[in-house]
């Protein structure tokens, strides 16, 4: 893989992890329910898992690990699940919308790079 592409992907992974952490924190601070009384527990859990997975994917990619392509597939799956959950709340929470967008971008890059 070209080093510039790898560097950009590392940044995408870390940006996604940051968006996920911010989303989870905002959901927790909101009291675990959205403005319509929906339980935000699934959103929080997926964001936390996705943040950890994206961070590890970025680290593996940065060092050119032999496991990075396999892990990119796992990362894409986690990002898709997180995006799908955050999109349920994106109309009334900016942090969920930003997280979903970051997750979709990361998932797409992971799939392309793992191919």
Tell me, what CATH number does 17's domain have?
1.20.1270.360
- What pTM was computed for the model? 0.91
Domain count along the chain: 1
pLDDT tens by residue, 66-115: 999 999 999 999 999 999 999 998 888 899 999 999 999 999 999 999 99
Print the domain residue range for 22.
Answer: 1-114
pLDDT tens by residue, 5-32: 889 999 999 999 999 999 999 988 887 5
Contact 55, 14 (CB under 8 A): yes
Residue 81 to residues 7, 18, 19, 27, 90, Cα–Cα distance (Å): 24, 16, 15, 17, 14
């Amino acid at each position: 893989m070209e080093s510039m592409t790898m560097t950009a992907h590392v940044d995408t992974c870390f940006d996604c992890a940051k968006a996920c952490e911010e989303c989870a924190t905002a959901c927790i601070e909101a009291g675990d329910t959205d403005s319509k009384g929906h339980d935000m527990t699934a959103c929080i859990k997926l964001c936390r898992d996705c943040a950890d997975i994206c961070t590890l994917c970025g680290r593996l990619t940065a060092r050119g690990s032999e496991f990075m392509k396999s892990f990119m597939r796992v990362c894409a799956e986690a990002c898709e699940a997180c995006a799908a959950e955050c999109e349920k709340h994106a109309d009334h929470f900016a942090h969920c919308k930003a997280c979903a967008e970051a997750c979709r971008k990361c998932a797409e890059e992971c799939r392309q790079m793992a191919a």
